[in-house]
Amino acid sequence: MLTIRLPAEVEARLEALAKATGRTKTSCAREAIIEYLGDLEDLYLAEKSLGEIRAGRSHTFPLDEIGEEFWRGVAD
């Protein structure tokens, strides 16, 4: 269970969205949180990967090399 306090402006926007879509404020808020969490998780993983690359613990491959490797595997 989660209880949050929203600024009045955000509450009004949420209310308007719920009314316009025929949904509840709770379902609109739930969907927004789920979507945003996915975005945050993707961002966190990207930043973590970038840190690994910058620290030399991981490396990248040029796209043209990846494509060549893929097509060699398909041709086999």
The pair of structure tokens assigned to 34 is 């789920």
- The pLDDT tens digits of the residues spanning 10-64 come to 999 999 999 999 999 999 999 999 999 999 999 999 999 999 999 999 988 888 8
The pLDDT, as a whole number, for residue 75 is 66
Can you tell me the distance from the alpha carbon of 4 to that of 2, in angstroms, rounded to the nearest whole number?
7
In angstroms, rounded to a whole number, what is the distance separating the alpha carbons of residues 75 and 27?
A: 49
Nearest CA to 13 out of 1, 29, 2, 35 is that of 29
